[in-house]
Structure 1
């Protein structure tokens, strides 16, 4: 048989063997494809629920900021129809905010119940006109919203409904909106009504499949949104909570309950859709197999032809040399053999050197490959090498390093050197225990180790991590170390999810200056700190510079955070919020913070707080200094302002009026009002209200006087008017304020 037919036959045999192995493997795993499709549907629903929850949280935060803005407070306290300038400012700001398409909000409605007054993106009007003509929906009438204002809920979402415009000029559909009501739980006069475009949100957040359906249920199992009316939701599915799926009849029902809102997200997928996907996959794979076989035969024929002539010539040349050598002896063959041996030895040595150099470069390329995958960086060139190409057990260990105060200052110019030292220490530790382990710096303060163990990693708490924690604990005086350990994974497709898992674990760090090893995710505690009454009391005393109240109150709030199990980042967020609130108050009073911070930012000082005692010490110092600055600013006021403040402080229980006090100064009332506002940043009437309410809260805390007696002492003729003003100022009634304060003392 000729060389050509031998080579061509060998190629065909190899191709047929590979095709048979491929076909056997595909036939074996084809039965598992349906499970993979179900898994993908579950992951798709998880992503949808996460997107919805994140957007609901954004809407809540966005509207709550508006609820406590200064302009909103003015319109809530006074008749909005008498403050036209504020209404115009609110309307302009609202139009600007609604231009953001990523909010998916069609309109935000300022609803004043008692005044039957509405501010929305197109102007102002009364509620009946708004909900009967411009935003008409049989489910959400003006009477419906008036009734809903009596509820105590501060944030409530309602089922999606179709809205239309039905004016004298035109009648058109506006879309399907999901209304959201946001208000102060203690205020039944004012609320925001947000109209969320449910169809746009659905198209943006959910990757729907052909012939599928999508539902959102609230905590009371009421349907908030349905993508279509093709499917009905059985009662057994509507009552489901948690995460999972059920098959009923010809449909699969995937469900997931979100922990924050309690909403349950349900996706319905027809079994026919799964069958169609598998059928399409079968056709594609069979076409690829036939195409591969055809290409393999063509390439085999081509290479066999190309190899035939050169190899035949080489064989004939070798036979010719053998013939010559046999006539002249073996010496020529030995000389050639020595030459070949020398050449091959040199090639082997060079190959070893190249191999070592390539191994070193390959390690660097592997690190870059992992960084690209974890950071989702698109590489347009050829794929980079990665040790996760084959499915084998692995786990991620992420170490977060936070340099402490003085040590961070000492290494300001060389922080990377310190990071490299710790990276080498961690790499040496894991390299001695795991073959092919990889350790590299991922961020400026993060070091990631990927551990491989072909014999199988344990799923519990590995002792080698305790040993690493012991090594790092020796430097706990200089750094805070947080070690996050992922579960054992075996699929390279999970690498991004695994990295996100250890990032989430890093955020689970608690207060303390020790090395913290975190292997399990725990739900983040839901904190309602500070309460509305605490926040109002804190704000009022920050504005007045009363550190005797703000410091004990902050100690109480910090202790409550620790008692509720708050994480370190929650302490940091809460502390930054209080600092921001204090700085805003000082800026409003034209007080420079550099007068008492000694050039150091209070936010930078907060970053050096790692324990409850350190947070308390910071706020003792910060609130004392800010209160002193506010008090000093008050003492710098001019003669007119000082007279007005002292007169009101001394006569707060009398019948005070702008014209009466202006007459004592020999000036007009309007001039005094403008002058006082310019100098203090506060309206004359607001200052009188603040003084009276501060005196009232002081009497409620420190005396046993009855509420009606306190009302008379601070200048109110009836208890009803005093209760109304006090609740508007603090959010609670005088009796509730006294009971709350007594509980704190106990």
Structure 2
């Protein structure tokens, strides 16, 4: 009774828990809203300046993009201007060098496929010949600029006049070009013409058309109702995003960077350091005011919404806190009133429900704990993979038990399945791989505590060994004999390479150690066995084949002479073996020979699939593990390719035979295309096209090959002076002969003679 009276006396001076919580939440909401409103009022004064600054930064980024791209286009066009093919066409009649014209046209078509250049076309203009070359073909200047790229301001006469100037690079104002035919007028878009030429050359120029609208959309983030201009150093407008608006005269001569307000608009300008162009963006003031009004409305709406949500959430939380506590207090009061201890009373439904809930939670906790233990190994594997491959993702890092000073070493096992496995044990590679992984895991688990083995790639198994004693830190190849013996029984089906790292003591070196074992795996040598690699041995650079051997191989591949190519390739393979080449170096050499052979076959219009046996030669190379297997493969492959080449050569017609015999007999005389064609009574372009179609080789390349082969023979077998040899093979100066000979063989004539004398 005393307790009851005391409780009633104090209750008169207390508030309900619900109202206390609700009032506290409202006070916090009012405080936060006040702080937000004061902050918004303070920072609103600076919003206009921030918007202006943002517009300036946007224009700076646009100017930087334009400057960088114009510099790129300039370098790209200058590369065409000084290209060898360009020089050849400029020195003579371009219409007579059909082969060079075709090469230039193909190069233009290829490079214009690069959409990141935003170039619509590139035009070679030979003023004296009134001759045009572009990606679509050749034509005269009047046809080009009156039909295919028509714009009244940019006629053929205009470009002739511009070529009289001394500027080597000039960008002209953008205009709307169109393709005009008797049937339709097809718009080409807004293009910025660019002229590139030698400052003192008035006979040749390159004209490029830059797509103004596409580059504007890519480089500039336009604001609502804004207009963008580009002005050159002379004040002439080169481009405008709105052709109906002109730049105010007050901006004439403005350079540098900044902004001015004219009327009800802001004009932001920025001058590029590379081109001297001034980039201007017009932003209406009403746009800034609209942004401020929109920001005010959004802020007021957010404040009102936050207050409503805060009140609703406060009420909900207050009720959630108040109801359970009130029920508990009423239960305690009723229990105390009847004298029942608080810990008893199992007859009450709520207490029984609470007991059952806690029991369910305890049981669920045990089940979750067991499930987490079962998945811990998988989680560890994934975490180690992240460390090995330096994968950085969002969120908290995965928990990995790895002390910073723990000693460890990595063992990487690479398993390579052979063709016999695929034939005899089909549809089970993953099952076999898992068996090998479990075998490796069992081997190391019996020798190292807490070792971890998991699949890292489709053909690699990684084992992490935690070294806790000096015995475990010994020679890294120890305790491997038993594993090698077990894996060795499956050598007919698989090759195994095991790389062992040294003991490391810092977890920060984990990824570096993994890279070390990856490099060790590449140290595998030829052989069908289990190779354990524990030390990295530096490999000397292998210059195999030598330039002379490479030349000999190419010449005999082209001639279809397998009695030379097969022994030569076998000799090169023996050289690799004597030099201690690694397995991947044999693969690289073999792929190079196959690539060279296939290119020669395609150059002569021969499809290697017609005689390929056993599938792709690249797939067959993957099954070569020994030196004899490589020799067997090349003996079969090169014989087939030579047979195909000889069969193709037997189809040679009388014109091609005459040209080849004529060049062989008169390699030191004038062998121009027109001179040879005159002997046959046909035109030079027809002969060039005919010879290329029949042999797969340009006539000029064939003449060069014959002359270089004759010169090489004289350098090896005679004591004639280099100047005399140059004259005998049709070169009037030693300098030009030296330059061509080195480009073809990789050596100067003097170096070539010295190497063969040795």
| Matching residue of 1:434 | 448
CA distance in 2, matches of 1:360, 1:713: 84
Residues 288-327 of structure 1 aligned to structure 2 (within 5 Å): none
Aligned residue in 2 for 1:686: 701
Q: Deviations over 1:576-613 (max 9, x none)?
A: 22322222222222210112212511111221222333
For the structure 1 residues 87 and 636, does the alpha-carbon distance in structure 2 shift closer, same or farther, using more than 3 Å as the test? closer
Q: Indicate the residue corresponding to 2:522 in structure 1.
A: 507
Work out whether 1:597 is the aligned partner of 2:607. Answer: no
Please give the alpha-carbon distance, in whole angstroms, between the structure 2 residues aligned to 1:621 and 1:80: 49
Retained in 2: the 8 A contact 1:423–1:441?
yes
Q: Once the 2 structures are TM-superposed, how far is the Cα of residue 485 of structure 1 from its aligned partner?
A: 1.3
Count of residues in correspondence between the two structures: 472
| Pair 1:667 & 2:682 matched | yes
Which residues in structure 2 correspond to 1:346-425 (within 5 Å)?
Answer: 358-377=372-391, 384-388=398-402, 391-425=405-439
1:636, distance to aligned residue in structure 2 (A): 2.0
Q: What do residues 366-408 of structure 1 show as CA deviations (whole Å, max 9, x unaligned)?
A: 2233234434455657654534267522221110111123224
Aligned equivalents of 2:558, 2:668: Cα separation in 1: 21
Residues 699, 622 of structure 1: alpha-carbon distance in 2 compared, 3 angstrom cutoff: farther
Which protein is bigger by CA-based radius of gyration?
2
Q: Deviations over 1:389-448 (max 9, x none)?
A: 675222211101111232244344211011011111111111111122111111110011
- 8 Å contact kept, 2:420–2:492: no
> Matched residues in 2 for 1:577 and 1:605: separation?
14
Cα distance in structure 2, aligned partners of 1:581 and 1:406? 29
Q: TM-score, normalised by structure 1?
A: 0.52
Matched, 1:483 2:474: no
CA shift, 1:351, in A, is: 9.8
**Superposed CA offset, 1:437-477 (max 9, x none):** 11111111001111124345415324113432333233233
User: Does the Cα contact within 8 Å between 2:383 and 2:398 map onto a contact in 1?
Assistant: yes
2:406 and 2:506 in contact (8 A); partners too: yes
Q: Give, in angstroms, the shift of residue 708 of structure 1.
A: 8.1
- Determine the structure 2 residue equivalent to 1:445: 459
Cα 1:547–1:739 change in 2 (3 A) is: farther
**Kindly tell me: are residues 724 and 360 of structure 1, through their superposed partners in 2, closer, same or farther at Cα, counting changes over 3 Å?**
closer
Q: How does 1:205-224 map to 2 (within 5 A)?
A: none
> 1:706, CA displacement in angstroms?
8.2
Alignment-derived partner of residue 559 in structure 2: 544
Cα gap change, 1:458 to 1:633, in 2 (>3 Å)? same
Alignment of 1:568-647 (within 5 A): 568-598=583-613, 600-647=615-662
Distance 1:544 1:437, change over 3 A: same
Distance 1:470 1:73 in 2: 63
Match of 2:486 among 443, 462, 471: 471
Q: How does 1:29-428 map to 2 (within 5 A)?
A: 75=85, 86=103, 358-377=372-391, 384-388=398-402, 391-428=405-442
Following TM superposition, by how much is the alpha carbon of 1:356 offset from its aligned partner in structure 2, in angstroms? Answer: 6.4
The one of 513, 530, 534 equivalent to 1:519 is: 534
- 2:691 maps to 676
Task: Say whether the 8 Å CA contact 2:603–2:697 is kept in structure 1.
Answer: no
Structure 2 portions without partners, runs of 5+: 1-75, 93-99, 119-167, 172-193, 202-232, 237-254, 256-270, 276-328, 345-358
The 1:712/1:445 distance shift into structure 2, 3 A limit, reads same
**Please, what is the CA RMSD of the aligned residues?**
5.2
Tell me how far apart the structure 2 counterparts of residues 127 and 395 of structure 1 sit (CA, whole Å): 66
Q: Distance in 2 between matches of 1:729 and 1:454?
A: 61
TM-score scaled by length of structure 2: 0.51
For 2:618 and 2:419, locate their aligned partners in 1 and report how far apart those are by CA, in whole Å.
13
Shift of 1:534: 3.9
**Aligned pair partner of 1:498 in 513, 519, 526:** 513
CA distance in 1, matches of 2:106, 2:757: 42
